[in-house]
Each structure stands twice: as C-alpha cells, then as structure tokens.
Amino acid sequence: MDRRQQKTRAAIFGAFSALLAEKSYGKITVQEIIDTANIGRTTFYDHFETKDDLLKALCGELFGHIIRSAADCTHTHGLYSDGSAPESVFCHLLQHLRENENNILGLLSSESSEIFLRYFKDSLNELIQKQFIGQNRRANLDIPEDFLVNHISGSFVEMVLWWIRGRMRQSPEELDRYFRSVIEPVL
C-alpha cells in the first residue's frame, strides 16, 4: 500500500472512530463516514466493500497492533524509557490500553462496545492460546483448552471494562497482579 492509500485509510479509520464515539454502529451511514473523512464515495469503496468490512479492518488493526505489541515486549512504543519492561504480557497489554492509542478505550465503552468487545476477545483468545495454554499449563488438564481460553479472555475483557468504569484508578501493574492471582491457579 502506498503512502497516499495509507493516508486515505487512516482518514477513513479516524472518521469512523470519531463517529463511533458519538453514536452506535447501526446508526452510522457510509455517507457520514465519507463526509467526515472528506473523501469521495469511489475512494471509500476502493478501500472497503461495506461498512462491516471497515469495522472488521478497524478492529483488526487496533486489536492486532495492541496484541502483537503485548506479545513482543521488545516493541515498547517508549512506554519503558527507564528500561523496565514488564514480565507479564497482560501488564504490557494494559499499559498499551492505558496509552489509549486510537481511542480504543472510548470504543470499548461506546454505544457500539459489544462489537469491539467481541473483536477484542477474539484477539485475546489467540494471545492466550499462544502464551499460556499451549506452553506451561500444569493444572486442570481435564478441562478443554478452548474452555480455558474463553474463560481467561472473557475474564480479562470484564476486568478491562471494570477498570474503565472505575476511571482507571489502578495501575496496569496492580491490575496485572490481580488478574494473574486469579488465573494462575487455573493454569
């Protein structure tokens, strides 16, 4: 993708995110996205076939970036200028969420949150499968892996929502400690 296409795509994502912060997904029209992004209809359809495709791409980019960054603690975005990257992938993920890149916290708590929560949970499933279930599982070996993955990712999503509703009073390190103290005995 060339720079012009990247710039157009970023404008579409930005317009869509801004609209999602104001109203529910179902009430947003492609025309509103086009107007807000200040692009032509043909340009929109050159990038996305439907509004649903746009949503899927936006979620893939937002959550994919955060999950990949969390899984690779060498990719720190300047979060750890003092050189103290966290040991826990969950703490790293929470720190990225706290940075609130691309207004992800607003999207997770918006009218359209159920859509974003589903994509977030699906992205977490992959991370949890790779980082925990497939590696060091020592307990509850009679419980199906997909059940554990679903349970852990669902619990993490609910914790993030609790954190957002509580105005993020706890630090990522504190939340990470809470979360790991609950899930480590399960694994």
Q: What is the pLDDT of residues 65-92, one digit of tens each?
A: 767 766 665 544 444 344 444 467 888 8
pLDDT at 96 over 90: no
pLDDT at 146 over 50: yes
pLDDT at 29 over 90: yes
CA distances from 67 to 6, 138, 170, 176 (A): 21, 24, 21, 15
Average pLDDT over residues 42-71: 83
More confident residue, 71 or 25: 25
Distance from C-alpha of 83 to C-alpha of 104, rounded to nearest angstrom: 25
pLDDT at 138 over 80: no
Average pLDDT over residues 27-55: 94
pLDDT score recorded for residue 82: 42
Mean pLDDT, all residues of the chain:
81
Q: What is the pLDDT of residues 163-172, one digit of tens each?
A: 988 988 999 9
Residue 148 burial by Cβ neighbours in a 10 Å radius (0-12, 13-18, 19+)? buried
More confident residue, 82 or 6: 6
Which residues, other chains included, contact 24 with Cβ-Cβ below 8 Å and sequence gap of 6+?
A: 110, 111, 112
Average pLDDT over residues 141-146: 85
pLDDT at 120 over 90: no
> Among 15-29, 100-114, 140-154, where is mean pLDDT lowest?
100-114
20 and 12 Cβ atoms separated by less than 8 Å: no
More confident residue, 94 or 32: 32
Question: What's this model's pTM, rounded to 2 decimal places?
Answer: 0.72
